[in-house]
Amino acid sequence: MSKSYDVIIVGAGVIGCSIAYQLSKRKKKVLLIEKNKIGGEASSAAAGMLGVHSEFIGDQNLLNAALRSRDMFTELSRELKEISGIDIELSHNGMIKPACSEIEKGQMMKILQLSTDVEWLSEEDVARLEPKLSKGNHHGGLYAYRDGNVSAGKLTRALAKSAVKLGAYIQEYTPVISFLMERNRCIGVKTLHETYHSQEVIVAGGAWSSKILRGAGFEICGLPVKGECVSVSACKQLVERTIFTKECYIVPKRGNHYLVGATEHPHTFDSKVSAGGIHHLLGKAIDLLPDLAFARLEKSWAGVRPKTDRFLPYIGRLPGRECLAVATGHYRNGILLAPLTGILMADLIDSIEIDPIFGFHHERMLK
């Protein structure tokens, strides 16, 4: 295996794999280094919602980015199937956000003004589209009819496998322990047993990015936020669309499987599943969809979301360091934002200017 590359990417979650795929398409020689296995952390814990309208209330920049990224999925899914043979299970099933209070209804009305592909559903409309939802506990809802979902684990693996088919190298079970620096220029990375050289290094280490970057003397504000999920299977279809509320969401997957998520526990890297977490999620989900009580419990799991001290991810070069960039902090929307992030980072490596909204604010970021 060669030890010199155009680009080394640290972390093979959905973000690192998407960047590796886009760079490989542009014929760059890429090495992706992962401390465990591909997609073994947040990226396979995710529910896979492409929920442009679920969590971006009030941030027009992020909403626009999310719309762009979501609309890349149809073409990406076709490409990945062709190159890797993996079906990422893209479904354009839409999402309903029931308004559980008048205040929530008011907030949702604001989203209606910001985005074009959402509409308002009265209580009767919601009941007509999803007759098994319980009635009388909402005031109608927002219908994001173009939102959808994918299998997050399959997306990550398909990106990784496609990158390899296009020439990328992946090294699993290999933690990066430090960077090779020549003054302020990053010229590669060190693992326990090897040293690898490259023109550029990109850190895509999810919730671990701040710890990794500390090795290059750089502080970014990273906050881990654990999330628990549970899946059930039913004998018949319970809902066709994703149902999203503040307390829980229900995502229909192929074959009458339903994924119920997710809790939020900040400041922890612990990924154990608590009985209380699952009790809370299932209780809220059964309130929304009573037939869920008869579904068969399948499995539960947890993952750690990468949050930052702002609502935007960090996607850009590190100020004061040459040839070292980062793509992290996608928090609750890394699956949705992965296609766009891959392209932005490939543009950055190709010296194409990227949208400054994602970049760093020097005065806050430099140590």
Residues within the interface to ligand FAD (CB under 6 A): 10-16, 33-36, 40-43, 45-49, 175-176, 204-208, 212, 227, 229, 261-262, 303, 305-306, 328, 330-336
**How far is C-alpha 56 from the chain's CA centre?**
14
Judged by phi (left if over 0) then psi (alpha if -120 to 50, else beta), residue 39 lies in left
* 13 or 140: CB nearest ligand FAD: 13
For the bound state, the minimum distance from the C-beta of residue 42 to ligand GLY, rounded and expressed in Å, comes to 9
Nearer to ligand FAD, 45 or 99 (CB): 45
Q: Does residue 146 interact with ligand GLY by CB under 6 A? A: no
330 binds ligand GLY per the rule CB under 6 A = no
The single residue among 154, 157, 305, 317 that binds ligand GLY, judged by CB under 6 A, is 305
> Which residues inside 158-187 make contact with ligand GLY, applying CB under 6 A?
none
* Closest separation in Å from C-beta 274 to ligand GLY: 16
Q: What is the DSSP string of 98-117?
A: E--SHHHHHHHHHHHHH-SS
CB of 209 to ligand GLY, least distance (A): 17
Hey, how many other C-beta atoms are within 10 angstroms of the C-beta on 191? 16
CA-CA distance, 264 to 345, in Å (whole number)?
A: 29
| Residues 6 or more apart in contact with residue 49 via CB below 8 angstroms | 95, 147, 148, 149, 242, 244, 249, 251, 335, 336
**Separation CA 219–CA 85 (nearest Å):** 40
Spatial distance between the Cα atoms of 324 and 318, rounded to a whole number of angstroms: 6
Ranges within 226-255 binding ligand GLY (CB under 6 A): 227
CB of 15 to ligand GLY, least distance (A): 14
The distance of closest approach from Cβ of residue 319 to ligand FAD in the complex, given in angstroms and rounded to an integer, is 21
Interaction site with ligand GLY (CB under 6 A) = 47, 49, 227, 261-262, 305, 332-333
